Chains A and B, each alone.
Chain A
Amino acid sequence: MSKSQIKEKNNFILNHLRELEAESIHIIREVASEFENPVMLYSIGKDSSVMVRLAEKAFYPGKVPFPLMHIDSKWKFKEMIAFRDSYAKKNNWDLIVHFNEEGYKQGIGPFTHGSKVHTDVMKTEALLGGLNKYKFDAAFGGARRDEEKSRAKERIFSFRDRFHQWDPKNQRPELWDIYNTRVHKGESIRVFPISNWTELDVWQYIRLEKIPIVPLYFARERPVVDIDGSLILVDDDRMPPELAARAVMKKVRFRTLGCYPLTGAVESDADTIEKIVEEMMTITKSERTTRVIDFDQDASMEQKKREGYF
């Protein structure tokens, strides 16, 4: 090899973010090519925002050939809903909003029914209802393997039977970047294009690509109530008045976003992405601890995933 060739080869190194990006775009295009009716599940969180941005990139200068679907539990932060609608409109996305009508009519909610019933009915059931209604054969999700232990073993293309269930003992082998996309009628695949990204990668990418995210991620004075050690935002008047009465203004931010009564805030001064990352590097709690629904049991996420939850 000549010197100039060696020098040239040194230009052919991708930094980790660009390598992850290339992998994710490859995955997204593979789904668009091989499935008849894919959908991208959009949670409005930072991981979803990165995934959506990757989809836009994958089909540039064309339009993304599948819709976004948001499963609305009807208890999301108001700012999330506003962000969702403006983002979809501005970026010309075909947005489906699906919720569990039956549960909504019954008035299911975390304050009245507890977190488990609420999650089962308004999230898991709603998701399955949405997937069944539109007969999607592939659904993208923004989960990362570094989030949680059971996710570390999940495939990028994760097979679900006709009841949307995941069998961790019976996963398809996944080698190289060759993905088995074959399903029978009624079966489907959940696809996790940012499986190999870490929380830091996600923040780095948001910073690099200037991806808009819900302002709740940034610290601001907000009215919060301390409920069993979790700081819960008073987001609307559905919070029982005796709880809302205890609200105090604190400078807080959210590390993850979900249903407002189930998502604890952290006290923070981080109002820029740099500060968020700095906080992340130095603070000592991993991100899912602010999700109230995780505290049940050791392998609770695995249990939920078996039942069809993301």
Chain B
Amino acid sequence: MIKQEQELKNFVPRRMSTDTLNIKEFLDRDEKKDMLRFLTAGSVDDGKSTLIGRLMFDSKKLYEDHLSALIRDSKRVGHAGEEIDYALLLDGLKAEREQGITIDVAYRYFSTNKRKFIIADTPGHEQYTRNMVTGASTANLAIILTDATKGVVTQTKRHTFIVSLLGIKHIVLAVNKMDLVDYDEGIFDKISNDYKRFITQLNVPDVECIPISALKGDNVVDISDKMKWYHGKSMMEYLETVHVSSDHNFDDLRFPVQYVLRPDRDFRGFSGRIASGVIKTGDEVMVLPSMKKSLVKSITTCEGKREYAFPPQSVTITLKDEIDISRGEMIIHPDNVPKIDRHFESMLVWMDETMMDLSKTFYIKHNTNTSRARIDIVQYKIDVNTLKRQKKDKFVLNDIGRVVITTNKPLFFDPYRRNRNTGSFILIDPVTHNTCAVGMILDKRASDKLPSRITDIDREKIRRGKSLISTEQRIRRNRHKGSTIWITGLHGSGKNDLAYTLEKQLFDIGASVVLLDGSTVRSGLSRELDYSPADRAEHLRRVAHIARILNDQGIITVCSFISPNDNMRNQIREIIGGERFILIYMDEDIDYCRANKPDLYEQADNGLISNIPGVDIEYEAPAKADFIINHKNIESSILKIVHAVYPE
């Protein structure tokens, strides 16, 4: 211990030395440094805290009283035996210190002559995936520690996967404890080859492997003379020189309006942080969702006007024209538009102690925009240890996987891999207000290819009215039970003609019948909904519930809706009840349909209208229908259908 104290006293600060400069020059130079935020992942056993301690120690961040406290604490609860226990310097909270583990993300700061650094120090244990995801979200680079005596282990792979999932572009594998393997080149080569082989599947552009001994200081700050075979940079040198500024997206202008500044009648400024792209005075811009265009009049900051602004600057923009813009809207270049949708796919990390509940309507916060959201479906969970996909219906804490989400309002987004700022969101529990999940938006499949969920997870919540009339009484009066004839098919396939014929025939024989078709429902009940997949799902959900209520009251419904896929039709069947649901498929080919509705299809071909099944979105024929009908067999089928709902 005496030796240590001596060592600390003799310690000469090197990296932040002011000797050669006067203080003014030093400050002028320091002011111009850029900043690198990096993550460290690994467990206590890998020597992570020791590495961080070294980096900070040698850059003279540790003041003397921190050090003397460290020596005192090492005597009391140190785990490092003879050496200084750097871990004690880093671990903050009381409980953790006693357990000897770090359990949350801790942020640490140090500086060298070349750069400022912010470290997000995260623990490596499996149950703390949540914290690693958190630390990785703001980092540009990750140091992943592995033990040279163990090589690339499951934990190494898990950490690497999470870091790549969060879009970190630079990874350093620190092969630590080289002193325990006699600084053997072969061992290092094997580990780095194993690692590089593993990482090829994860799409990380910049991967570096460095052999170190954090404990002895080899290759941490200075190149070690014990590993002459290593010709790369030391850890510190690498951190000081790695090029990260181009990690920002400078191509797609995305300016989410955060705050509207109206100090007086003459000034209307839109404040916010540039999420991506570059905005210049005089640029033509467009506002989402209104699509209104204007020119950038000024980019205002406290220091005066700027010609241009870029991420991650916080600025205030004024426009030439008076356009009403509020928080949550987005300013973009008109020729570069993000996705505008309510329905998308995402990788999701579950962060809450409470299990995912698909019946909840969450708050979703996506840059400055807040809406409500539901999780339609969990597609799969990823086993972070094997990277294999697993079937799972809902997530628990630390689960990661792929889901489909629908929001109430459209979001303006880009895929996360292209844009970290417009591709990320958080989900907030509607009751506890905890941040229960975080997501990274994918663009692998178009939104019409994604399943929507319109059924209620919690069926008990659907109440039947306490009517004084029993089902039997209704059947006696009507001479039939309530049921639904659901007709699916393309535009122009003759759904409506069939529907009206069926309605008339049922009416004539005395049945109680109600007809529902797309244009009737859309003109009133669904008037705010468009033809996007998310709105189409909501529209059909409403129709299904009307049919259900009418059927409960003994009425036959004839429903004529395109309902373009089995996922949707099956859910409609589930809402209404399978025993009283009859599916009719109008099986006409697209040419027949086009001939029936030439105008509509021509408009779709010319791009004047969109979301037309069979043209720009897919129509999926039912795998199983009760009746398959076309214009040739329609006459003979009608009687059979009537008979199915009106047996007498």
Contact = CB atoms under 8 A, between A and B. Distances in A.
B314 A58 contact: yes
A106 interface: no
A20 B272 CA distance: 15
B64 interface: yes
Nearest to B316: A60
Contacts of B104: 153, 168, 171
Nearest to A144: B109
Contacts of B273: 22, 25-26, 177
A169 B327 CA distance: 33
Contacts of A61: 261, 263, 267, 269, 300
A183 B431 CA distance: 10
Interface in A59-110: 59-63
Given A153-B104, A207-B27, A277-B27, A9 B302 contact: no
Nearest to B263: A62
Contacts of A178: 365-367, 424-426
A7 interface: no
A284 B310 contact: no
Contacts of B23: 274-275, 277-278, 281
Interface stretch (A28-36, A123-131, A242-250): A28-36
Nearest to A171: B104
A30 B138 contact: no
A238 interface: no
Contact of A15 (B27, B33, B106, B366): B33
B109 A146 contact: yes
B624 to A, nearest CB: 44
Given A62-B261, A274-B23, A15 B32 contact: yes
A158 to B, nearest CB: 13
Contacts of A30: 258, 368
B302 A180 contact: no
Contact of B18 (A9, A176, A282, A284): A282
Interface stretch (A133-141, A194-202, A260-268): A194-202
A29 B312 contact: no
B249 to A, nearest CB: 11
Given A15-B32, A176-B137, A59 B16 contact: no
A196 B258 contact: no
Interface in B7-36: 16, 18, 23-24, 26-27, 30-35
Contacts of A60: 300-302, 316
A192 B259 CA distance: 19
Main secondary structure of the interface of A (DSSP, over half): helix
Interface string B149-181: 000000000000000000000000000000000
A20 B267 CA distance: 27
B267 A284 contact: no
A1 B259 CA distance: 34
B162 to A, nearest CB: 12
A67 B351 CA distance: 35
Contact of A195 (B107, B248, B327): B107
B92 A149 contact: yes
A217 B255 CA distance: 40
A286 interface: yes
A221 interface: no
A145 interface: yes
A172 B434 contact: yes
A302 interface: yes
A239 B63 CA distance: 32
Contact of A150 (B65, B92, B138): B92
B209 interface: no
Contacts of B278: 12
B544 to A, nearest CB: 32
B288 interface: no
A169 B96 CA distance: 10
A183 B267 CA distance: 32
A284 B11 CA distance: 12
B93 A150 contact: yes
A12 B258 contact: no
A152 B66 CA distance: 15
Interface in B104-161: 104-109, 111, 116, 118, 130, 133-134, 137-138
A168 B93 contact: yes
A285 B300 contact: no
Contacts of A277: 23, 27
A204 B34 CA distance: 14
A22 B107 contact: no
B407 interface: no
A287 to B, nearest CB: 9
Contacts of B30: 200, 204
Contact of B109 (A13, A196, A281): A196
Contacts of B262: 62
Interface string B422-442: 001110100001110010000
A16 B259 CA distance: 24
Nearest to A61: B263
A180 B365 contact: yes
Contacts of B493: none
Given A12-B310, A178-B425, A196-B107, A59 B31 contact: no
A25 B314 contact: yes
A85 B367 CA distance: 37
A176 B138 contact: yes
B130 to A, nearest CB: 6
Contacts of B385: none
A298 interface: yes
Interface in B236-272: 245-246, 248, 250, 258-259, 261-263, 267, 269, 271-272
A145 B32 CA distance: 22
Contacts of A32: 259
B106 A153 contact: yes
Interface in B91-106: 91-95, 97, 104-106
Contact of B271 (A17, A58, A207): A58
B427 to A, nearest CB: 10
A19 interface: yes
A203 to B, nearest CB: 8
A56 B91 CA distance: 35
Contacts of A172: 434-435
Nearest to A297: B94
A93 B384 CA distance: 52
Contacts of B105: 153
Contacts of A198: 109, 111, 116
A12 B248 CA distance: 9
Contacts of A184: 433
Nearest to B36: A16
Contacts of A14: 34, 312-313
B64 A12 contact: no
Given A9-B246, A173-B130, A57 B302 contact: yes
A17 B34 CA distance: 8
A162 interface: no
A23 interface: yes
Contacts of A19: 34-35, 312
Contacts of B27: 204, 207, 274, 277
B93 A299 contact: yes
B92 A153 contact: yes
A299 B105 CA distance: 18
A289 interface: yes
A288 B23 CA distance: 24
A29 to B, nearest CB: 5
7 contacts: A9-B246, A61-B263, A175-B438, A183-B433, A277-B23, A281-B26, A299-B94
7 pairs of A and B residues whose beta carbons are closest in the complex? A284-B64, A62-B263, A175-B137, A16-B35, A25-B314, A182-B433, A149-B92
Given A19-B35, A60-B300, 6 more contacts: A12-B250, A26-B314, A33-B368, A175-B134, A286-B63, A299-B97
Interface of A: 9-10, 12-23, 25-26, 29-30, 32-33, 56-63, 145-146, 149-153, 168-169, 171-180, 182-184, 195-196, 198, 200-201, 204, 207-208, 274-275, 277-278, 281-282, 284-286, 289, 298-299, 302
